[in-house]
Amino acid sequence: MLKCDIRKFFDSIDHRILFTLISNKVSDQKLLDFIYQIIDSFHHAPSKGLPLGNVTSQLFANIYMNELDQFIKHKLKVKYYIRYCDDFVILNADRAVLEKSIEAIRKFLSKELLLYLHPRKVEIRKLRQGTDFLGYVSLPHYRVLRTKTKKRMFRKIRDAKKRLDARLISDSQFKQILASYMGMLSHCRGREIERRLSACYSQAMSTLILDGRAVRDAAIPALTARIKGLLHKPVLAIIQVGDRPDSTAFIKAKSSFAEKVGAKTKHVHLPESALQAEVIKAVQECNADPKIHGIIVQLPLPLEIDQEAVIDAIDPHKDADALTSSSVKRWLEGREDALLPATTRGVKELLEYYKIELFNKHVVVVGRSMLVGKPLAAFVLNENATVTVCHSKTLDLTDETKKADVLIVAAGRPELIGAGHVREGTVVIDVGINTAKSEKLEDELPGKKLVGDVDFEVVKSLASAITPVPGGVGPMTVLGLFENLADLCS
């Protein structure tokens, strides 16, 4: 038996050469366009081979190797010949005939297909009954994997899972790696194989919970070290008007986090009856205080106060939430040195941690507030996503949200988004924090149960990744605020 494997060619050839070679063998333009899209979809360095993996290299082999089939069958007159993708086997009892075939095949591959048959990929051996001679063979009554091959595949899956856990690859990349092996492994029989396959599949297909608390906690040491290295301990002034319980709770959470990372907060508390001029005066006093490095106004303000005028009174050099006109212009333009609003920065870092890419994705943002919706829409647009912004006047919200690869919801309406709004595999970012009457839940808002703008339990089964409420975007917003403060101090 002669066994050969030529996959190394497909794994190492420059992508432009590969496409040129295939173009010479395929006349169907639609098929060529499809193949080029596949080749071009891989991230690769110039003049380096493609990380094609099993599935793609098999596709190219089947297209490209048809001439080899004709040569072996008709020119060499081989009676017993099997090829599966880039592996092929010739059966013959005469070793001399097989050795002669090797030279003929080597010359044909070199001259006609520009392929090099590596000596270590050519093997003549006896065929023992019950032994798999291709590693994987697909025949009407013969589908089997060698034990050694199965072990290797499971090892590669385990290695990929470790890389996923270390955030070296994304969830979608792990699923692609898993899919490339599962097609072959699924043909194997045996309870142990079925159990391990089921475990791998459920592990890959389960929804990824985007844990904002875990990401925030992982970032605290670096932020603490950075603040410690500043010339002055950064101080954040928080201006509050009135006594809204939720605002007071959020301010306490910010003050607590400030202590963790080595910063300080100064709480400027004005009564509900404060006039707009008094609020602006408080802002101006913080602007003039050299001991204060960052300022935010706790929103919402009472209805009779012009929120925009108060925020614009903040010195742009102390604008920790990046909401003044000067700051807005900078992040709308996508400038590299622009501070992002705290929530937007938090969402950005959450996506980066879990390696969720926005490039070329369709992102739907539900909500258009100046505090959250518009900054998020601008951020994803600057990341080269295609953006749709929905709001209360959108005619068919369900139709729009179902188009999303990534759905960001910041509408301020409890559980607005249900199963009917989301298609399977969507990444869902729930920015909403709403209170609901239920059991006490000590987190971002002590004494209240928090729910998001998304019905978490219903949507979770459809989403590929989703943020919980509480514990998703909320902790990341506080982190983003103090990272902004550190930037202002620098």
**Active site amino acids:** 254, 298, 321
- Are 428 and 407 in contact, with CB atoms under 8 Å apart? yes
For residue 456, give the 3-state DSSP assignment.
helix
Bridge partners (DSSP) listed for residue 235: 264
Per residue, what are the HEC states of 358-426?
CCCCEEEEECCCCCCHHHHHHHHHHCCCEEEEECCCCCCHHHHHCCCCEEEECCCCCCCECHHHCCCCC
Tell me whether strands 434-436 and 406-409 are parallel, antiparallel or unpaired. Answer: unpaired
Q: What is the 3-state secondary structure (H, E, C) of 192-243?
A: HHHHHHHHHHHHHHCCEECCHHHHHHHHHHHHHHHHHCCCCCCEEEEEEECC
3-state helix, strand, coil in the chain (%, to 5): 50, 15, 35
DSSP 99-140: HHHHHHHHHHHHHHS-----GGGEEE----TT--SSSEEEET
Half-sphere exposure at residue 224, Cβ-oriented, CA atoms within 13 angstroms: 12
